[in-house]
């Protein structure tokens, strides 16, 4: 519950700040500035994708390990990937994506943009609420030295859930990357009431 509240607060602050500045300054990005913002956006997405992929690979790596210290080290790196790659990458891609949408296309004028920010918010909340909790539970279970990791049901459950969660987030990020490139849906039809 605390993770949800902190994530909600952080997302609301970022979105509110970006939208407020954009509306206050009536941002319209020219071609050159748009290219630079796209570069920053792509760099944040790469950071995000790399962190999630790293978590997936490290969790996959732990499936066949027997050495408890190596398993603990892998999960420690998973935690660092989460804090130093995934979280800044996700929030940075959200902020730059909102800024680009605000200055170039509009936040709600194209279906593909709505799908992108909805997908990004979904991965941010899923990651902070569930995957972050499973990472902490795995580390807590590994710190109990009475049980070997391969015989610790709490650890094994967390390990499987981190792996499954990473696959889900990777699938969503691949989908979002695809619709960024293909832009498969057009503009929303908005009726103008007078």
Give bridge partners of residue 110 from the DSSP assignment.
Answer: 187
C-alpha span between 185 and 155 (Å, rounded)? 43
- Nearest to 65, CA basis, from 144, 142, 169: 142
Q: Which of 129, 159, 128 is nearest to 142 (CA)?
A: 159
How many DSSP H helices and E strands does the chain contain?
Answer: 7, 0
Q: 82-136 pLDDT, tens per residue?
A: 999 999 999 999 999 988 888 877 777 888 888 998 999 999 999 999 999 999 9
pTM of the entire predicted model: 0.85
Can you tell me the distance from the alpha carbon of 125 to that of 172, in angstroms, rounded to the nearest whole number? 13
Q: Which helix (H) or strand (E) holds 31?
A: helix 31-62
pLDDT tens digit string along 139-187?
999 988 777 888 889 999 999 999 999 999 999 999 999 998 888 887 7
Structure tokens given for 27: 């941002």
Instruction: Give the number of C-alpha atoms closer than 13 A to the C-alpha of residue 57, restricted to the C-beta side.
Output: 8
Q: Is 109 helix (H, G, I), strand (E, B) or coil?
A: coil
How many other C-beta atoms are found inside a 10 Å radius of the C-beta of residue 141?
A: 19
């Amino acid at each position: 519950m605390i993770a949800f509240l902190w994530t909600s607060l952080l997302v609301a602050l970022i979105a509110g700040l970006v939208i407020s500045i954009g509306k206050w300054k009536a941002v319209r990005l020219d071609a050159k500035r748009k290219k630079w913002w796209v570069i920053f956006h792509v760099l944040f997405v790469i950071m995000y994708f790399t962190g999630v992929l790293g978590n997936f690979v490290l969790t996959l790596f732990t499936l066949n390990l027997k050495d408890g210290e190596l398993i603990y080290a892998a999960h420690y790196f998973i935690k660092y990937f989460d804090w130093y790659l995934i979280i800044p990458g996700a929030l940075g891609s959200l902020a730059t994506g909102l800024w680009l949408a605000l200055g170039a296309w509009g936040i709600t004028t194209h279906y593909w943009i709505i799908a992108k920010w909805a997908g990004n918010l979904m991965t941010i909340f899923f990651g902070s609420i569930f995957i972050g909790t499973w990472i902490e539970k795995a580390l807590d279970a590994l710190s109990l030295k009475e049980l070997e990791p391969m015989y610790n049901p709490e650890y094994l459950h967390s390990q499987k859930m981190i792996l499954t969660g990473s696959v889900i987030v990777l699938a969503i990020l691949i989908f979002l990357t695809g619709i960024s490139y293909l832009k498969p849906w057009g503009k929303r039809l908005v009726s103008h009431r007078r």
